[in-house]
Amino acid sequence: MRKAVAVLVAVLASFLSSPAVSAEPNQGPPPEAAAFIETYLDHLLYMVLVSDKIKIPEGEGDVYRTAVAAANDYLTSQKLPVVFQDQMEKLRRDQRTLAEDLQGENLSVAQWLAQKLNADVYIEINPVFRSEKRGAQWFAQTNLTLNVFEPSTGQLLGSKAYSQLDRSVGASDELAKINAVRIGVKRMMKDVVNIARDNMRRAVANGVRYELKLLGTADAEAVGGFIDALKSAVPPSGANAVTDVVSHSLSDREGTWYVYFFGAPEDFERLVEWTAETVPGFEGMKLVLQRGKSFSFSTGME
């Protein structure tokens, strides 16, 4: 996906060579950016997981894993990139890293996982089951809610609910619930993907939002010069894909800005580094942390 996006950025170079236009986010993309947005939407990386609010009953782990697997099966059948369960579970088991990263951050575990795994969209599954035994058979029904989020902001993009009217059958309570949740999730996923695409299209209408953190910002005048340079940066490729830079916070130690940019994360990193090379005093700037679309750079001026 990232390579495809990078190629499109290069194609856009000839159209985006004029100085960056300061605009409010979600004003709508210039016509020449439409192809970039559609390709970006076609290659969204999805991450599906069970909501952290769900307490999985002992012995029913397979039921909830089936829910995630059913969603991933649909996504892969549509040739959409997916973060698989084993990747999430491996990262989730690193409790030390999780605790250190979440300290002082207003992030849910799901949002943290999505950022760490570079997902563009994450989907939380919230299932509720009803089941009963009749003779030798078990019957189960499920009510499902699938919530769609954007990882960089944690913003809820949309929600889809489903109530199973018929009952699924199984030789055990677990199998009946597995059959119920598999049917429900598969019936919902087409609509959920459409919700994700439609809302992400609006979210990136003015460019993909990147969070830029600068560490070492005591020289406010120099930092202001760097931000001005970033707003109008024209790198060697000729692409001028920054549409807006919005200040979020600034102190004498660090500052945070939201940069709206038509490009992939690797393109954004290169743009920041190239801009730093053109601004006196920022030649020593280096990347110290990346988490999804959040980049932290040391200015080298501490």
pLDDT in the model for residue 16 = 39
Residues 181 and 286 in one domain: no
User: Beta-carbon neighbour count of residue 254 at 10 Å?
Assistant: 16
Residues 243 and 176 in one domain: no
Kindly state whether residue 46 falls inside one of the protein's structural domains.
yes
pTM: 0.81
User: Beta-carbon neighbour count of residue 121 at 10 Å?
Assistant: 25
1 Cβ contact list (under 8 Å, min separation 6): 43, 44, 45, 81, 264
pLDDT tens digits, residue range 106-121? 788 899 999 989 999 9
pLDDT tens digits, residue range 248-290? 988 888 999 999 988 888 889 999 999 999 999 898 899 999 9
Residues 140 and 228 in one domain: no
Give the span between the Cα atoms of 149 and 201, in whole angstroms: 13
Asked whether residue 206 carries a pLDDT value surpassing 80, the answer given is yes
What's the chain's average pLDDT? 86
243 Cβ contact list (under 8 Å, min separation 6): 20, 21, 22, 23, 206, 207, 260, 261, 262
Kindly state whether residue 282 falls inside one of the protein's structural domains.
yes
Which residues constitute the domain of residue 240? Answer: 2-28+206-298
Give the span between the Cα atoms of 293 and 38, in whole angstroms: 19
Give 16-64 as a DSSP string.
S-SPPPP--TTS---GGGHHHHHHHHHTPPEEEEE-TT--PPTT-HHHH
Kindly state whether residue 35 falls inside one of the protein's structural domains.
no
Kindly state whether residue 249 falls inside one of the protein's structural domains.
yes
Residue matched to tokens 């960056």:
20
Residues 193 and 229 in one domain: no
15-24, 149-158, 175-184, 264-273: least confident range: 15-24
Kindly state whether residue 292 falls inside one of the protein's structural domains.
yes
User: Beta-carbon neighbour count of residue 145 at 10 Å?
Assistant: 16
pLDDT in the model for residue 237 = 61
Residue 225 is part of a domain; what is its CATH number? 3.30.1360
Residues 24 and 51 in one domain: no
Residues 73 and 139 in one domain: yes
Asked whether residue 10 carries a pLDDT value surpassing 70, the answer given is no
pLDDT in the model for residue 18 = 36
CA distances from 5 to 143, 151, 195, 264 (A): 38, 19, 22, 6
Of 203, 227, 254, which residue constitutes the final position of a domain? 203
Residues 230 and 279 in one domain: yes
Kindly state whether residue 198 falls inside one of the protein's structural domains.
yes
Asked whether residue 28 carries a pLDDT value surpassing 80, the answer given is no
Kindly state whether residue 34 falls inside one of the protein's structural domains.
no
Sign of CA dihedral 63, 64, 65, 67: positive
Residue 80 is part of a domain; what is its CATH number? 3.40.50.10610
pLDDT in the model for residue 94 = 81
Residues 68 and 108 in one domain: yes
Residues 113 and 228 in one domain: no
Kindly state whether residue 53 falls inside one of the protein's structural domains.
yes
Residues 100 and 149 in one domain: yes
Residues 157 and 257 in one domain: no
Helix (H) or strand (E) holding 159: strand 155-163
Residue from 24, 47, 43 nearest 205 by CA? 24
pLDDT in the model for residue 230 = 93
Ramachandran class of 28: left when φ > 0, alpha when ψ lies in -120 to 50, beta otherwise = left
Asked whether residue 11 carries a pLDDT value surpassing 60, the answer given is no
**157 contacts 111 by C-beta, under 8 angstroms:** no
Give the model's confidence band at 105: pLDDT under 50 very low, under 70 low, under 90 confident, else very high.
confident
Residues 270 and 167 in one domain: no
pLDDT in the model for residue 163 = 95
pLDDT in the model for residue 302 = 62
Helix (H) or strand (E) holding 73: helix 61-77
Of 170, 203, 236, which residue constitutes the final position of a domain? 203
What is the total count of domains within the chain? Answer: 2
Of 175, 203, 231, which residue constitutes the final position of a domain? 203
Asked whether residue 15 carries a pLDDT value surpassing 70, the answer given is no
End-to-end Cα distance, the chain: 36
Q: Are strands 46-50 and 82-83 parallel, antiparallel or unpaired?
A: parallel
pLDDT in the model for residue 232 = 86
